[in-house]
Amino acid sequence: MNLWIAIIGMGIITYAIRLVLLLLLERVQLPAVVQRSLAYVPTAVLSAIVFPILLQPNGTLDLSLGNARLLAGLVAAVVAWRSKNVLWTIGIGMIVLWLLQAWLS
């Protein structure tokens, strides 16, 4: 019973965080400076998720050539830049990662 309450509480909190601004911003107009800042939310948040995965694969900074995730990520970034295609980026990035892992081990 307590477990159900805990989980339903987690659900209500998560939903409220996602919902409140979608409902309120109908009546409240955001200041122009805040609206401009929102253009940077995807780039900033996604970069903040990606950088540690590439640079700290085991929790500590690893800039060596033995860091397969960093090298595969750099190759994938070049693929993304040239192709602008997410599927190519994933496919080639994973193949490079597997090859490097096989070669390094």
Partner 1 sequence: MTTPRSELLAGIKAELPIALGVMPSGLIYGVLALAAGIPPAVAQAMSAIVFAGSAQLIGVQLIGAGTVTAVLWFTTAIVNLRHMLYSASLAPHVRTLPARWRWLLAYLLTDEAYAMTILHYQDTQTAATHKHWYFLGAGITLWTCWQSSTAVGIFLGAQVPASWSLDFTLALTFLGLITPSLAKRPHLAAAIAAGLVAVLTNAWPYKLGLMAAALTGILIGMWVEVRA
Q: Kindly state the smallest distance separating residue 86's Cβ from partner 1, in Å.
A: 4
43 or 64: CB nearest partner 1:
43
Instruction: Report the C-alpha gap between 66 and 89 in whole angstroms.
Output: 21
Please, are residues 71 and 100 in contact by the beta-carbon 8 Å criterion?
yes
Residues that bind partner 1 (CB under 8 A): 2-11, 13-15, 17-23, 25-26, 30, 33-56, 59, 61, 69, 72-73, 76-77, 79-81, 84-90, 93-94, 97-98, 101
Q: Kindly state the smallest distance separating residue 81's Cβ from partner 1, in Å.
A: 5
Return the exposure string of 34-67: e unless at least 16 CB atoms fall within 10 Å of the residue's CB, then b: eeeeeeeeeeeeeeeeeeeebeeeeeeebeeeeb
21 or 65: CB nearest partner 1:
21
Q: Which residue has the tokens 């019973």?
A: 1
Q: Kindly state the smallest distance separating residue 1's Cβ from partner 1, in Å.
A: 11
End-to-end Cα separation, the chain, in angstroms:
48
65 or 95: CB nearest partner 1:
95
